[in-house]
Amino acid sequence: MAIHPIEYRYGHPDMKDIWSEETRLRKILSVEAALAKAEVYAGYIPGGVDDKIAQGVKNVKLDRVKEIEDEIHHDVMAVVHALSEQCGDAGKWVHFGATSNDMLDTATALQVKDAISVFRKETLKLLTALTDAAESHKNTVCAGRTHGQIGVPTTYGLRFAIWASETERHLVRLDQLTPRATAGKMSGAVGTQAAFGKKGIEIQERTMELLGIEAADVSNQIIQRDRHAEFVMWMANIATTLDKICIEIRTLARSEIAEVEESFGKKQVGSSTMPHKRNPIKSEQVCGLARIVRAMVEPALRNNTLWDERDLTNSSCERVVFPEACVLADHLIRLTTNIIHNLRIYPGNIRKNLELLDGLNMGEAIMMELSKKGVGRQEAHEIVRQCAMNARESRIHMREALLANETVSEYMTETEIESMMNPDNYIGTAVEQVESIVAKLRMRG
């Protein structure tokens, strides 16, 4: 019986598989096999034992591991016993010198490595979608808004470019944290490697080399959780970017703004009682689930504050944090990519909103032009402010208020005022900025 929505509603099979019970077992077994091979290489256990253990790994079944765990109530020893059963005389060398967390933490590193690979691939797809949108709409002039109020013009291309640039920084961060978050270890019960004797460092390095991950420089019984917290915070960080993007989409999709809209299927239902509704449910889902991913940061940080050489408070917590955060964060990236790919943009409504204030939002352009012509900046600001207040109160176009002002008429002709009131003429370097960042991001792709 499915209980958690991840089981039946959210998440992609690729990420779910990484955190499945079966995959977890296979990762632990791969660490056991690598350890045996490293120990043979170091001359710590007899030659040929590693081959028998590697063969035994192939025959271990999850059901048998669970059966043993039900008897002995220890998850790692259940794996050790199940593997030993498959290795004949070599079974006595399974897990030799290791402690449980040598297996568990190193297996986690392998799972995190696989998760990061999926994140990198899917984030690149999101980056491509945003970059394409930025390029397509670099000349789509729209109303900029600050404090929820219409300001000077901007472009949709610049909006998408800003989101694309932020997404690219997440990829940079992911590359930077990867070696830290994917380190494994063979350090024994308290970190001294005493059970491995003087071969400890060599065995650890060789084991991690075989597994294709970094070895921790130093650790106690566990890998220190600042590494994992950084990874969880990365997920929270990118989830917050997606939250921001989708909040903007939801805002711009409001009925009274209606500049954008999520795709809506021919048979899709928006409301059980209001047949006309076309709700931004995908964006709302992103915003809602981003809260869950962000909520994982606190437990991830607290998992680093353990007693002495370790306690067990992190273990149960991480069984929830790692799979849930990874599955949901991956789901949000894929969902946002889909939203951007299929986003509908309505130029007519964009233009209507751009001209909604009858030119009031072009006041800065007039102020700057007056300043360039010799009127002091502060004086020009006050002149334009008064004209704006007059236009608002008299319900006339800003152009008329400006033409009625003696100082403005002294310095600017009607043709100049008309030109400066055109939003298309006041987007600065928006197009050039978009073209520059698009070129940079295309190189990454």
Active site residues: 147, 271
Q: How far is CA 132 from CA 35, 137, 160, 343, in A?
A: 47, 9, 9, 12
- Identity of the amino acid at 301: L
Phi and psi at residue 307, in whole multiples of 5°?
A: -75, 135
The whole-angstrom separation of Cα 434 and Cα 157 is: 6
Question: Are 426 and 154 contacting, i.e. CB atoms less than 8 angstroms apart?
Answer: no
CA distance 153 to 361: 8
Instruction: Identify whether the C-beta of residue 282 lies closer than 8 Å to the C-beta of residue 312.
Output: no
Q: Is residue 297 packed enough to be buried (19+ CB in 10 Å), middle (13-18) or exposed (0-12)?
A: middle
DSSP string, 250-266: HHHTSTTT-SEE----T
- Closest C-alpha among 85, 99, 161 to residue 130: 161
Q: Which residues pair with 261 in a beta bridge?
A: 344
How far, in Å, CA of 197 to CA of 445, rounded?
48
In whole angstroms, what is the distance from residue 250 CA to residue 231 CA? 29
The amino acid sitting at 251 is: T
Cα distance between residue 254 and residue 426, in whole Å: 26
* Distance from the Cα of residue 266 to its chain's centroid: 31
